[in-house]
Amino acid sequence: MVNCCDLVSEKNEPVPLKSISVELQVRDHVASVSSCLQYVNEEERPLEAVFVFPLPADAAVCHFSARIGEQEIVAEVQDKQSARDQYDDAVSSGQQAFLLEESEESSDVFKLSVGCLSPGQKASITIVYIIELSVQADDALRFCLPAVLNPRYTPAVSAAGVPEVSSASVIPYTLSLSVEVRSSDRISKLESSCPLDPLEFLDAQHTHATVNLTAGHRFDKDVELFLYYENSHQPSAVVEAGASAAPSGSLMGDPALMISLYPEFPADVMSSLASRGEFIFVVDRSGSMDCKMHHGNDAQMRIESARDTLLLLLKSLPMGCYFNIYGFGSHFESFFPQSVVYSEDTMEEALKRVKSMSADMGGTEILQPLKHIYSQPCYPDHPRQLFIFTDGEVWNTKEVLDLVKRHVYSHRCFSFGIGEGASTALITGMAREGSGHAQFITGTDRMQPKVMQSLRFALQPAVDNISVDWTVPEGVKVDMLSSSINTLFQGQRALIYAQIKGQSSGKKEGAVTVKYKLKDQPVTNQLQFTLQPTEDTGLTIHRLAARSVIRSLELEERAEGADAENVRKRIVELSVQAGVSSAHTAFIGINKDHNQTVKGPLLQRRVPVAHMLQMSMMQCQPMGMCALGFPSLFSGMVVQRARPMALQMDFDSTMHYSMASSNSMIESDDESDQKAEPLKDPVLQLVSLQKATGCWELNASLAAVFGKTEDEVTNQKTAQVDGSVWATVLALIWLYAFKSDQQVEWQFVAMKAASWVRSQKHSLSQCVCDGNALLGCQVTEDMLGI
């Protein structure tokens, strides 16, 4: 692949990809996604098109085919190197060939090569993948069709690289999407971040429905769907029959079982929060964090939103805990040499440094700060909680995940993907391997509520001591395929896969008993399942089970002391047997019946082409993309140097850069970076004034938040009430009366304040009454928690 971002094709020819149509079929908690990509060669010579695109990290690609004219070519899964050799041989000899392969560095990046399209020829490519749907805070199941894969930063010392795709807002192909949902549970509703046609129910029980994306959608942002079921916490066990052609005793030949476990947390558990812990916040400060959160006019910069979120986090921590903050880019730095006790002094010192944080640390290298954090000793009785904020643009995803997994018993990892294009492999992988929780902040999402929700997870009791026991008749055995689950937080769901071996001449049912503890209270669920499934579900559960085993083997392969060659062989065998993708296999299809070979020099076109890169780079240019070693996705093979844009790098201590075009100039300087904008959000203004203990002081700044003068606020205070108590009660009244819609953001701030007020042992009835009169509202003492 050519390393040059400033190359375009000789004639700036149009992208050969014309449209994408997607069919989504949802079955309970999993989905099958069929994508059809329409290509046409509009050039005068034979063409090879290369399209690099994102897929969800846990997706299992299970079908790849191409239709040229009336002929369909179905690809086979083979060892990756063998598939590449066959593809190169076919293309060089003028045959039509198609290759689909997963990146070796990141499981959410795929490359599709379409070889030897004759002039004017059309090709239709179909890719099918299956995936588990993630659970959201409101119990919705989320499906995301990524529209963008951001460039991944590659250090100059590394020869590895992950291909990149520019922002989809400048790609000239369209998207159509149809959705079908079937469920054992009643469907409540289906919502989307994009316009949808009305939801149509196909049965009276509301368990079968269809919906389409509104026609004419420009694929300029991620397409998100949110599916709601009525009884989302009900555990379930689904058995799927094996493939008749597969040998008995193999994973694909035997029945496969999927258990869904989504514990419901009672209110008393939800309100029980720990007061100890070591909280380490790791913030991406690479150049890409200087992009906007979304394309709207009122969008914050990513780094600005991160600063606001850190303010909330620092104000919400319990007294006596430990904390530290790391910033990382091409290098990393921490606020303190090691985690410090949370106090008024340490909080204020951290807040001063947060205000000056900028996206000025170059590329994105997260591995070294993680190694440094894990080398620090943990504090007894203070569980380590790691919060990682990044736009997910790293190159060595698998190495990062291996590191997190090695330290899973010493910490929990909560990860946050910022902006469209954040790597699902990195974000979900860190949370999965670190027994934490992943959140994605996309579109117009606010970062603060999602982060504060994760802080609640970190402070709440979790489901642990999870065990699974099987009751099956003689002659039948159940083998667990999923890795053991250590922890589940409120809002997390686990899907457990198993293989049912053998046969029973008598009983036709088995049972599974799932036990766990929640706040030291034992919980037991027993589920019945059939041993003779008849319904043909397209082997979705089998393939997801195979994908789960493959991912575990890939981790085992990279472990120290592993027999890598033997493990690799097992991965290839299972991938070929199940027909699903892996890091060591690829889908290869060759049109062997094509009688006439394609003659003439072969052009290569990357999708999207380079002249559109200028527009996307003007919107958001990651620091040092070309000079720091990105492979280019946007270049032709027979090209001349482009004139419209020049990328100029200036490597000094602050890693400034400028990008010049014929009519624009973007510059960065220290002075603008250091000018922290005033807080515009009234809630953040109020929170910024709170002390670490939870109280507020009575002053003009606090009065201004209420829209009052200091004298107006002071004159309403009775002589018997302390000024800080009066100020804190007013702050609580104002939050509950006027900002209840943002309660998830200020919940911990209010809890600290209420606890502090109770410790002062004042009579508060008249104080609350006077506060209501001053602010013009009616809030009770019980509502305030004082």
pLDDT at 621: 37
5 contacts: CB under 8 Å, gap ≥ 6:
610, 613, 625, 626, 630, 632, 634, 635, 647
Question: Across all residues in the chain, what is the average pLDDT?
Answer: 79
Q: How buried is residue 711: exposed, middle or buried, by Cβ count under 10 Å (0-12/13-18/19+)?
A: exposed
Give domain 8-229's CATH architecture. Sandwich (2.60)
Beta bridge partners of residue 639, listed in sequence order: 9
Cα distances (angstroms) measured from residue 265 to each of 493, 518, 523, 699: 12, 8, 11, 41
pLDDT at 600: 40
If you average pLDDT over each of 263-267, 458-462, 500-504, 697-701, which comes out highest?
697-701
pLDDT in tens, 365-405: 899 999 999 999 988 888 899 999 998 667 788 889 889 98
337 contacts: CB under 8 Å, gap ≥ 6:
none
Q: How buried is residue 124: exposed, middle or buried, by Cβ count under 10 Å (0-12/13-18/19+)?
A: middle
Helices of type H across 587-722? 613-619, 670-674, 682-688, 700-705, 710-715
Residue scoring higher pLDDT (609 or 124): 124
pLDDT at 719: 81
| pLDDT (mean) for 348-358 | 94
| pLDDT at residue 121 is higher than 50 | yes
- 3-state secondary structure (DSSP) of residue 226: strand
- Domain edges within the chain: 8-229, 237-268+463-576, 274-459, 690-784
SS3 content of the chain, % helix, strand, coil (to 5): 25, 30, 40
Q: Which fold has domain 274-459?
A: Rossmann fold (3.40.50)
| pLDDT at residue 626 is higher than 50 | no
| pLDDT at residue 786 is higher than 50 | yes
| pLDDT at residue 106 is higher than 90 | no
Q: Which element (helix H / strand E) includes 517?
A: strand 509-518
pLDDT at 632: 29
CB 222 within 8 A of CB 146: yes
If you average pLDDT over each of 134-138, 592-596, 645-649, which comes out highest?
134-138
* Gyration radius (Cα) of the chain, Å: 28
Nearest to 491 by CA among 518, 457, 451: 457
pLDDT at 219: 67
- 3-state secondary structure (DSSP) of residue 35: strand
pLDDT at 518: 84
- Distance (Å, rounded) from C-alpha 285 to C-alpha 276? 28
pLDDT at 52: 74
pLDDT at 535: 63
pLDDT in tens, 24-61: 999 888 899 998 888 777 777 777 777 777 777 678 88
CB 476 within 8 A of CB 498: no
Q: Which element (helix H / strand E) includes 769?
A: helix 765-775
Q: b or e along 130-147 (b: 16 or more beta carbons within 10 Å of the residue's beta carbon)? A: bbbbbbbbebbbebbbbb
DSSP character for 719? T
| pLDDT at residue 625 is higher than 70 | no
CB 608 within 8 A of CB 15: yes
What is the identity of the amino acid at 742? Answer: Q
If you average pLDDT over each of 268-277, 437-446, 591-600, 664-673, which comes out highest?
437-446
Q: What dotted CATH number matches 237-268+463-576?
A: 2.60.40
| pLDDT at residue 167 is higher than 50 | no
pLDDT at 147: 65
| pLDDT (mean) for 620-646 | 28
pLDDT at 188: 93
Task: Say which range, 73-82, 159-168, 260-269, 580-589, has the weakest mean pLDDT.
Answer: 159-168
- Distance (Å, rounded) from C-alpha 217 to C-alpha 145? 13
| pLDDT at residue 551 is higher than 90 | no
Residue scoring higher pLDDT (561 or 522): 522
pLDDT in tens, 200-227: 999 999 999 999 988 877 666 778 899 9
- 3-state secondary structure (DSSP) of residue 485: coil
Count each helix (H run) and each strand (E run) in the chain, helices first: 19, 37
- Distance (Å, rounded) from C-alpha 192 to C-alpha 207? 19
pLDDT at 638: 25
Nearest to 558 by CA among 535, 577, 584: 584
pLDDT at 685: 93
pLDDT at 594: 57
What is the identity of the amino acid at 421? Answer: G
CB 231 within 8 A of CB 205: no
| pLDDT at residue 647 is higher than 50 | no
| pLDDT (mean) for 611-627 | 32
pLDDT in tens, 298-341: 788 999 999 999 999 999 999 889 999 999 999 999 999 999 99
| pLDDT at residue 736 is higher than 50 | yes
Vertex 22: Cα angle to 21 and 24 (nearest 5): 160
CB 85 within 8 A of CB 151: no
- Distance (Å, rounded) from C-alpha 129 to C-alpha 178? 15
- Fold match between domain 8-229 and domain 237-268+463-576: yes
If you average pLDDT over each of 393-402, 433-442, 462-471, 680-689, which comes out highest?
680-689
Percentage of residues in the chain having pLDDT higher than 70: 81
Q: Which element (helix H / strand E) includes 36?
A: strand 30-40
For 340, the token pair is 């410090």
| pLDDT at residue 707 is higher than 80 | yes
Vertex 402: Cα angle to 61 and 416 (nearest 5): 75
Q: How confident is the model at residue 166 (pLDDT cuts 50, 70, 90)?
A: very low
| pLDDT at residue 704 is higher than 60 | yes
| pLDDT (mean) for 721-739 | 94
For 417, the token pair is 């993907």
pLDDT in tens, 145-165: 876 544 443 444 443 443 443
